[in-house]
Amino acid sequence: MEMAELTALLTPDGLRLLDALPVMDSAAEVARTVTRLRKEGHSPDLVSAVVTQARLRERAASKFGPFAERMLFTRAGLEQATRLPIAARHAGRLRDAGLSRVADLGCGIGGDALGMAGLGLQVEAVDADEVTAALAAFNLAPFGDAVTVSHGMAESTSLDGIDGVWLDPARRTAGHSETKRTKPEDWSPSLGWAFDVATRLPTGIKLGPGLDRDLIPDALEAQWVSADGSTVELVLWSGALARDGVRRAALVMRGDDAHELTAPADALDEPVRELGAFVHEPDGAVIRARLIGDVARSLQAGMLDEHVAYLTSDAALTSPFVTSFRVQEALPLKVPTINAALRARGIGRIEIKKRGVDVDPAQFRRKLVLRGDEEATLILARIGARRVAILADRVSR
């Protein structure tokens, strides 16, 4: 969003026009809406702004639920925003640590500050991008004096009177739509600056889940977070926000349910064992936190291969930290053999999962002959030197 579009949008008439737009489910509907608004005499900037915002609000519902209907976004801001249930959990940790006034440095469109203010914290929010800061101010306006939003740099923000800090460094090039990832030394603020703040005040630092683990200071708690099967972020916690004896954590959220696995360090893996009656796929947060071994022991399971993040067991056990499958048959990873098994079982719908093998699931699916009313999961994996296809039934989500 450009400043001219924002200026046109942030008027009573502009916001009323946005709220009155219908749902646009296709490119043709978008084009018709643009044409209609232009014929009604609305400026190009306003038409672009309201149509873009209407589309972004539809996408934002998955992160912000009904709150999205009264929020404003940029494409990049929405992509990088924390989902509201996760933001609320982070805010709960800040509140439970006894913090009352928090600086949100790099607030984006205000997703995390929304969670903090919703739990009664005083928030000083700052963003380096002028348009993004203006959108955050709009989104957080219902909280009145509990939240202040400023356009400025994190590094020059006064922390006098602040109890704790929430930091979300800009990890992509500047812009509101198409952006590219940058290196830690080029983040704004830099990772080194963020770590320095963390030594002085209780701090939560939101980062991408793929951060090089060698960059994580030993003194910080590292918590990987997944939502509905996707690993979405890594948060590093310092001071009163870091839990005693916890240095590795995997927070797994599925819908409204949350489950967490914690440990003082990386867990030792269980030994490799023969394929059993069940295969378990650990959640991405568990894999990133390197807590697969702890999950394996809870399931009486071992590794399917020492280099592949699949577990196998004979015990009919599962947990919130894995997706479990009951093995039907193990086959060589050869299309004719797999097709014969699919045909014999009348399988017409197949879910394909793979690890440790150089296979494109979409291309592989086109080689399969799927006919029948049954469904199954096909797990393509490497076990030692063998490439195998495990035909299985999903028993947990």
Q: Tell me, yes or no, whether 92 and 161 share the same domain.
A: yes
Q: Which of 48, 73, 98 is the last residue of a domain?
A: 73
> CB 248: neighbour CB atoms within 10 A?
23
Whether the per-residue pLDDT at 181 is higher than 80: the answer is no
Q: Which of 23, 41, 73 is the last residue of a domain?
A: 73
Q: Tell me, yes or no, whether 251 and 291 share the same domain.
A: no
Which band of pLDDT confidence, cut at 50, 70 and 90, is reported for residue 253? Answer: very high
- From the list 183, 96, 166, 176, the residue with the least C-alpha distance to 125 is 166
Q: Higher confidence at residue 147 or residue 2?
A: 147
Whether the per-residue pLDDT at 255 is higher than 60: the answer is yes
How much is the pLDDT for 3?
A: 86
> CB 154: neighbour CB atoms within 10 A?
25
Q: Which residue has the tokens 């193990």?
A: 330
Q: Tell me, yes or no, whether 177 and 96 share the same domain.
A: yes
How much is the pLDDT for 224?
A: 98
Distance CA 172, CA 179 (A): 6
Q: Tell me, yes or no, whether 198 and 319 share the same domain.
A: no
Asked if the structure places residue 270 within a domain, the reply is no
Whether the per-residue pLDDT at 71 is higher than 60: the answer is yes
The average confidence (pLDDT) of the chain is 93
Distance CA 84, CA 77 (A): 14
Cα-to-chain-centroid distance, residue 97: 24
Neighbour-count burial of 183, counting CB atoms closer than 10 A to its CB (0-12 exposed, 13-18 middle, 19+ buried): exposed
Q: Tell me, yes or no, whether 231 and 341 share the same domain.
A: no
* Long-range contacts of residues 46-50, Cβ cutoff 8 Å, at least 24 apart: 46/5, 46/8, 46/9, 46/14, 46/17, 48/5, 49/1, 49/5, 49/6, 49/8, 49/9, 49/14, 49/18, 50/9, 50/14, 50/17, 50/18, 50/21
3-state secondary structure of 301: coil
Which band of pLDDT confidence, cut at 50, 70 and 90, is reported for residue 86? Answer: very high
The CATH number given to whatever domain includes residue 177 is 3.40.50.150
Which band of pLDDT confidence, cut at 50, 70 and 90, is reported for residue 386? Answer: very high
Is there a contact between 275 and 304 (Cβ–Cβ < 8 Å)? yes
Asked if the structure places residue 216 within a domain, the reply is yes
Q: What is the pLDDT of residues 190-243, one digit of tens each?
A: 999 999 999 999 999 999 999 999 999 999 999 999 999 999 999 999 999 999
Q: Tell me, yes or no, whether 317 and 171 share the same domain.
A: no
Q: Tell me, yes or no, whether 95 and 136 share the same domain.
A: yes
Q: Tell me, yes or no, whether 159 and 105 share the same domain.
A: yes
Amino acid of residue 97: A
- From the list 319, 387, 390, the residue with the least C-alpha distance to 359 is 387
When divided into structural domains, the chain yields a total of 3
Q: Tell me, yes or no, whether 104 and 18 share the same domain.
A: no
Which band of pLDDT confidence, cut at 50, 70 and 90, is reported for residue 180? Answer: low
Provide, rounded to the nearest whole percent, the portion of the chain with pLDDT above 70: 97
Q: Which domain holds residue 158?
A: 79-263
Distance CA 231, CA 211 (A): 12
Question: Poorest-confidence range of 165-174, 272-281, 322-331?
Answer: 165-174
Q: What value does the mean pLDDT take over residues 88-106?
A: 97
Interhelix angle 84-96/111-118, rounded to 10 degrees, is 50
How much is the pLDDT for 345?
A: 96
Cα-to-chain-centroid distance, residue 69: 21
Q: In angstroms, what is the C-alpha Rg of the chain?
A: 24
Vertex 8 angle, CA 4 and 13, to 5°: 180
Q: Tell me, yes or no, whether 382 and 345 share the same domain.
A: yes
Interhelix angle 111-118/44-64, rounded to 10 degrees, is 60
Amino acid of residue 128: A
Which runs of consecutive H residues, i.e. helices, occur in 81-122? 84-96, 111-118
* pTM of the model as a whole: 0.91
